[in-house]
Amino acid sequence: MSNVIKIAAFLAFSYIAVPLAVGSNAYVIGLIVAALTIGGIAVAWALLGNLGGMVSFGHAAFFGVGAYVSALLTLRGGWPVFPAMLVAGLGAAVASVATMPALRLRGPYFALAILAYAEIFRILATEMKPVTGGAAGLLSIPRLPTVLGLDFGSKLGGYFVILTIVVAAMAVYHLIRRSAYGLALKAMHDSEDATRVVGVNSTVLKAWMLVVSAFITGMVGAFNAHYINFLEPDYAFAGQWTTLAIVSAIFGGYRTVTGPLVGAVVVYLVDQLAFKPILPQGHQIVLGVLLGAMILFSPGGLMPLLMAKLSRKEGPAHAA
Amino acid sequence: MLLELDGITVAFGGLIAVGDVTFSMAEGDVLGLVGPNGAGKTTLFNAVSGLVRPTRGKARFLGRDLVAMPIHTRARAGIGRAFQVPQPMHELTVRENLMVASRFATGRIDKQRIEEILDLLKLGHKADSDAATSLALTEQKALEVGKALATNPKLLMLDEVLAGLETAGKRAFMHTLSEVRQRYGLALLIIEHDIETITRLCPRVVVLNFGRLIAEGSPENVFNDPEVIRSYTGGEAA
Amino acid sequence: MLELTLQSLFSGVLSGAYYALIALGLALVFGTMRVINLAHGELVLLGAYISYTAEEKLGLDPLASLPLALAVVVATAMVVYYLVSMIKKDRELNSLILTFGIGVILTNAVLMIWSADIHSATTPWYHDATILFDTLFAMQAELVFAALGIILVGAVWWWLEKSWYGRALRAVASNRDAAKLMGVNPQLTEVLSFAVSGLLATVAGVAIYTAKVIQPAMGHHLTVKAFIITVLAGMGSVPGVLLGAVLLGIVESLTVTMASSALQELAGMVLFLVVLLLMPSGLFGRAKRRG
């Protein structure tokens, strides 16, 4: 199947088939929206990890910043929702600039430095009461609006919004990967100096990946704020956002564009539908097991593993 | 003046790897850089291409101050470098290696030039197949030069690119280098151990010993200089 | 004001000794295997909960529950080691994610077994206050475990510097292959460092149970604290861990006294970032030469 057909099929499935099938079931749509929200963060995380070469343990920072910026702009500033969401993405991108000194750090240090930033933002959000409503949070955040007769404030409407954000994120990931920048980023994993010597400004390139990743995550956070209409620091900056995104991205295969999304949908739905009923407290243990199993047996993720097995069944091996 | 080095010193703690080196190159010059092992030749290269910062001294490239220039800016300004131990961008194909170099050093992917380089260096048949790591040593060395060429340099710095090649290979490479130079009008700064190669290629030679410049001139003069001979054969320390 | 500051400093030093106990295990494993065990906080937590169970069900004094807690925690640490040793490529980063996952497993396991309630030691002696020098106030538990903390740090330091095992550990840390050539079995030393790490975590866990409160969500929190201190200390420095921990303790304590208790965590994070960005090799670590 050529790529164009695959993409068209995917778009048709998500924009047409899914709404038709389960659009009226608020519970299912709600679940799917949640899964897509995680998927969005997962794509952004994978972009940073794969292209930027940096693993982050604090993506919740960008999620929360985006959520608060959009909520405050609409609630206090009277801004319309969609522009506010864009600015929220920019806000998260700007926040990522604050984290840039951490780019100099080696892998594990960077991962945890971002975690520290997430904690700092959370505490700031809790303490800056007059601005952020403090620990009590913000209520009655404006819903997604009605545009051209389409009510995006409904559950199904929200579905389309987040779906579009995630699809756009995947497109960005794909385009960067394919470009000369993607090549340079790939080469940088080997040796930054070797790329610098041929003119690549590796520091700036990595910084851009961080900015893009933060922007996407910020927009997803903003979407979430308008979807549930409520925000508080412990929720907005919860480690869960990061954890679920990481598990999804790694499970689905973070070196691929579609992996994180597929991972998010599978992991989240299975967790909510299968494990939560059985183990109401502590069902997330499954996530830990999944993560551990993935790292040990298939760091590339489960999806690539399955794909490889499937293609072996189909016929002679083709280039990966 | 293409390259001007004035009193360049690189010290690592108490160890002086490069001591007070001064010389210049004009556009199109071919200069040989020789000296016994550990004389500081590669460190000098590192200082010029930006991987190491000089402790003291001034350097200019086409009139611009070099010492404060970041590595990637130097590449864009026209300094190309082939490492002694080839450092290909492993996961990329040969062509992709050249594409990255071309795109980032010159601002656009010069397809024609890439084809020329592939042709000159006889890498055409391997251009799009496997990753760069699967190449044989000669081919990796060729790719190393190719990457530097793709950046459209005015100065090409070659660090012992002939090492490990047997005589026939050396001859072929030398021939290619001359072609390259003529085609693109580059200046060449060459580190080599093989005296015959240096004599053939370079009308001018500088000699380093223990980091210091001990001789400069034509190959005949330099290689008959008693101090140079002593530096190669041992004798008293500098 | 002076009294307040002195008390603040004193409390800070006490917390610091505590923190050192928590951090030392992490720093040890990091130093020898270059592995950041993100499940370390959960090991501490496990020690605390075993202590709680021993007190609740068996009526044991927390200190007396140490052997039992040790058995469980060290065994768990061994499992963690085993899993980490299975990683083939990219050990630094992959072990980070793996131990992150193990941490999630442990936290949720604790949640499932013990529920989310908060607990603290019920043996009264621990919570009794002591007054030193007529002005400085502390809980007896805090004093006991601060002292234990300092003793253990000293013991580990001596062990690393002077004993054969300790030297082997350091040899493996600096150059695995060379160590092998000299007859040192790297695997054995790594197992050993994880075991000692587990031991330290257990004591830290019991300490926390007696002097503070425990709840399942703490595991992650403790790991982050331990990591902050490891960064402050710099690689390879055991005294650095104690000093870094005390520094953190004092910074937090002063923040509580002079600003507000809510900013306590913030102060720690900011300190962490400042050190990380300005002095990457830590306050006491061996500086790396720029190639």
Burial C76-103 (b: 16+ CB within 10 A, else e): bbeebbebbbebeeeeebbbbbbbbbbb
- Of B101, B117, B152, the position where a domain reaches its end is B152
C231 shares contact with chain A (CB less than 8 Å): yes
| C109 within a domain of the structure (yes/no) | yes
Residue owning tokens 């442990």 = C106
Q: From the CB of residue B236, how many other CB atoms can be counted at a distance below 10 Å?
A: 6
Evaluate the CA torsion angle C267, C268, C269, C275 in order and state its sign.
Answer: positive
Instruction: Give the closest-approach CA distance of B159 to chain A in angstroms.
Output: 14
Q: 3-class DSSP state for residue A205?
A: helix
- According to DSSP, the β-strands at C136-139 and C129-132 are antiparallel
Q: Is residue C236 part of a domain?
A: yes
Rounded to whole angstroms, the Cα distance separating C213 from C195 reads 25
CA distances from A77 to A65, A124, A131, B101, C221 (A): 16, 20, 12, 48, 36
Mean pLDDT of B127-154: 83
Q: What integer best gives the mean pLDDT of chain C?
A: 82
Instruction: Identify the residue among C276, C277, C278 best suited for mutation to test binding to A, counting A beta carbons within 10 A and taking the highest.
Output: C276
Q: Which of A195, A199, A201 sits opposite B89 (nearest CB)?
A: A195
Query: 3-class SS at B21?
Result: strand
Strands C136-139 and B212-217: unpaired
Sign of the dihedral defined by the CA atoms of residues B43, B48, B49, B55, in that order: positive
B74 within a domain of the structure (yes/no): no
Structure tokens at B204: 């001018």
CA distance B36 to C274: 46
Q: Are strands B155-159 and B79-82 parallel, antiparallel or unpaired?
A: parallel
- B147 lies in some domain: yes
* Chain C residues with CB-CB distance to A282 below 8 A: 108-109, 111-112
Alpha-carbon span C231 to A121, nearest angstrom? 21
A80: left (phi over 0), alpha (psi -120 to 50) or beta: beta
Q: Please state, for a pLDDT cut of 70, what percent of chain B lies above it.
A: 97
Residue C102 maps to a domain? yes
- What digits encode the pLDDT tens for the residues C78-93? 999 999 988 877 777 8
ipTM score assigned to the predicted complex: 0.83
Helix (H) or strand (E) holding A249: helix A239-252
Q: Which residues of A sit within 8 Å Cβ distance of C?
A: 55, 57, 101-102, 104-109, 111-113, 115-117, 119-120, 123-124, 126-127, 239, 243, 246-247, 250, 279, 281-285, 287-292, 295-296, 299
In chain A the domains, ranked by start, together with CATH numbers, are 3-314 (1.10.3470)
Is residue A315 over pLDDT 60? no
Q: How many independent structural domains does chain B possess?
A: 2
Q: Which residues in A245-264 are b (16+ Cβ under 10 Å) and which e?
A: bbbbbbbbbbbbbbbbbbbb
Which of the residue ranges A129-143, A204-218, B185-199, B205-219 would you say has the lowest mean pLDDT?
A: A129-143
Low-confidence winner among A86-90, A251-255, A304-308, C111-115 (lowest mean pLDDT): A304-308
SS3 B2: coil
Is the pLDDT higher at A202 or at B125?
A: A202
> Under an 8 A CB cutoff, do A196 and B105 touch?
no
Across the interface, whether the CB atoms of C93 and A55 are under 8 A apart is answered yes
> HSE (CB half, 13 Å, CA atoms) of B76?
15
Cβ burial, residue C160 (10 Å; 0-12/13-18/19+): buried
Measured between alpha carbons, how far is A87 from A80 in angstroms, rounded to an integer?
11
Closest CA to B71 of B62, B81, B63: B81
Please check whether residue C116 touches A, CB under 8 A.
yes
Q: How many Å lie between the alpha carbon of B105 and the closest alpha carbon of chain A? A: 4
Provide the domain limits for residue B112.
Answer: 79-152
Query: In a 3-state reduction of DSSP, which class is residue B22?
Result: strand
pLDDT above 80 for A29:
yes
Most C CBs within 10 A among A106, A112, A132, A242, hence the mutation to make, goes to: A112
Which residue do the tokens 């903003």 mark? A222
Q: How many residues does chain C have?
A: 291
Tell whether C288 is covered by a domain: no
Separation between Cα atoms, residue A28 and residue B228, nearest integer Å: 83
pTM for this entry:
0.86
Instruction: Please choose, from the candidates B83, B62, B193, the residue with its C-alpha nearest in 3D space to the C-alpha of residue B148.
Output: B83
Q: Are strands C129-132 and B3-12 parallel, antiparallel or unpaired?
A: unpaired
Spatial neighbors of C16 by CB under 8 A, at least 6 apart, are C242, C245, C246, C247, C248, C249, C250
Q: B85 and B132 in one domain?
A: yes
H/E/C letters for each residue in C174-220? Answer: HCHHHHHHCCCCHHHHHHHHHHHHHHHHHHHHHHHHHHCCECCCHHH
The total of other beta-carbon atoms located within 10 Å of residue C175's CB is 11
Chain C positions touching A253 (Cβ under 8 A) are: none
Interatomic CA distance for residues A34 and A28, integer angstroms: 10
Residue C164 lies inside a defined structural domain of this protein:
yes
The reply to whether B96 and B65 lie within a common domain is no
Is B91–A190 a contact, with Cβ atoms under 8 angstroms apart?
Answer: yes
Residue C152 lies in a domain: yes
The residues pairing with B32 across neighbouring beta strands, listed in sequence order, are B190, B205
Is the pLDDT assigned to residue A316 strictly greater than 70? no
Q: Which of A120, A243, A281 sits opposite C112 (nearest CB)?
A: A281
Q: How many domains does chain C have?
A: 1
Q: Which of the four pLDDT bands, split at 50, 70 and 90, describes residue A72?
A: very high
Clarify whether residues B10 and B59 are in a common domain: yes
CA separation for the pair B25, B34 (Å, rounded): 16
pLDDT class of B237 with cuts at 50, 70, 90? very low
Pairs across A and B, CB distance < 8 A: 77
Closest-CA distance, B92 to chain A, in angstroms, reads 7
Q: Is C132 on the interface with A (CB under 8 A)?
A: no
C156 part of a folded domain: yes
CATH of the domain at B21: 3.40.50.300
The mean pLDDT of B192-219, rounded to a whole number, is 87
Q: Report CB contact under 8 Å: B90, A193.
A: no
**Using 50, 70 and 90 to split pLDDT, how confident is the model at C233?**
confident
Among A65-74, A137-146, C165-174, name the one with the lowest average pLDDT: C165-174
* Run of H or E including A161: helix A155-178
DSSP state at residue B51? S
Domain contains B168: no
CATH number of the domain to which C207 belongs: 1.10.3470
Distance CA C45, CA C219 (A): 6
Q: Which domain holds residue C216?
A: 2-114+130-278
Instruction: Please tell me which residue of chain A has the smallest CA distance to B129.
Output: A319
Q: In whole numbers, what is the pLDDT of chain A averaged over residues?
A: 87
- Say which DSSP state B20 is in: E
pLDDT of residue B79: 92
With an 8 Å Cβ cutoff, are A186 and B147 in contact? no
A100: DSSP letter: G
Partners for A (CB, 8 Å, 3+ pairs)?
A: B, C
Please tell me the distance from the alpha carbon of residue C112 to that of residue C101, in angstroms, as a whole number: 16
Q: For chain A, report the end-to-end CA distance as a whole number of angstroms.
A: 15
Question: For residue C143, what pLDDT band results from cuts at 50, 70 and 90?
Answer: confident
Minimal CA separation from A193 to chain C, in Å = 12
Q: Do residues B34 and B193 touch, judged by C-beta distance below 8 A?
A: yes
Please give the pLDDT value at position A276. 84
DSSP classification of residue A138: B
The answer to whether A44 touches A59, Cβ cutoff 8 Å, is: yes
The verdict on a CB contact (< 8 Å) between C265 and A123 is yes
Query: Hey, which residues does B25 pair with through a beta bridge?
Result: B3
Burial A221-241 (b: 16+ CB within 10 A, else e): bbbbbbbbbebbbebbbbbeb
- 8 Å CB contact between C202 and C69: yes
Q: Among partner residues B72, B109, B147, which is closest to A180 by beta-carbon distance?
A: B109
A-C C-beta contacts closer than 8 Å: 116
Number of alpha carbons in the 13 Å side-chain half-sphere of residue A157: 15
Does the beta carbon of C259 lie under 8 angstroms from any beta carbon of chain A?
no
**Is A55 in contact with C97 (Cβ distance < 8 A)?**
yes
Q: Is residue C291 part of a domain?
A: no
Q: Which two tokens stand for residue C167?
A: 């030297």
Same domain, yes or no, for B64 and B109?
no
